[in-house]
Structure 1
């Protein structure tokens, strides 16, 4: 089978994203390529970096020649997806810090406006609202488990004062954080 196919990640998404995958035909070249790798790795010796680079280059050139733009488009998708993954890793790593949007944008090597556009395209929500909701949910969890008091955590979740934290918490959940801690 010699083609690339596209499918929808999630049909219920507002923005449908096509994710390509490439089906490779198991031909004589591929069979011999795999056998040559098995022989190289079967030698139980240290394999030189140069040989590995040449083998990698060999398969890439073969696939580019055989599948043309379909293969190159697939590679482009992989690179774009890796950048998105890198972006998401920065977000996840700093989710429960008190960094503001400008600081997060800096960590992603973007302007604040580019960061906001990228964030919305990935998470379908503004970064401020998304971070606030995630951080308040984490604060609620910590408070429910009696691990902290509101006055101990408000700054950790990006609030300049206990009253701002309490107001945002009450707006999100319908009751104040002190209500959890006092019960």
Structure 2
């Protein structure tokens, strides 16, 4: 599951990659992970977006949106504000500030 999850945001597609029906995949997934496959995939996607916004601070938001499978900047904005409760710009700034603080702490012992 971990090997293929970054390639899709769809339970049906992920099940197909693992040669299972969606219903069989959901059943097996919930037994192993103790949560729904949809919720897990959403959390994985959020984590990847956060990593991209934090560590690729020099890339345009449009590029990060495309990399994470969004059809448009508007869809990316809707996902971020709906799921992460902040706009992509706000997240980008917050995560960049967090990265800078981590680096200062590491290099300067702050």
What band does the TM-score fall into relative to the shorter chain? 0.5 to 0.7
* Number of positions where the alignment pairs a residue of Structure 1 with one of Structure 2: 93
* Structure 1 stretches of 4+ moved >4 Å: none
**The structure with more strand, counted as a fraction of residues:** 1
Supply the RMSD in Å over aligned alpha carbons.
2.2
Which of structures 1 and 2 has the larger relative contact order (alpha carbons within 8 angstroms, sep 6+)?
A: 2
Asked if the contact 1:105–1:112 (Cα under 8 Å) also holds between the matched residues in 2, the reply is yes
**The structure with more helix, counted as a fraction of residues:** 2
Alignment partner of 1:130 out of 33, 36, 40: 40
TM-score, scaled relative to structure 2: 0.68
Asked if the contact 1:150–1:177 (Cα under 8 Å) also holds between the matched residues in 2, the reply is yes
Q: Give CA deviations for 1:108-141 in whole Å, capped at 9, x if unaligned.
A: 1111111111111112222222111111122112
Note the residue ranges of structure 2 that are not aligned, 5 or more in a row: 95-110
- Change beyond 3 A, Cα 1:150–1:118: farther
Q: Distance in 2 between matches of 1:126 and 1:158?
A: 21
**Post-superposition offset of 1:160:** 2.9
Note the residue ranges of structure 1 that are not aligned, 5 or more in a row: 1-90
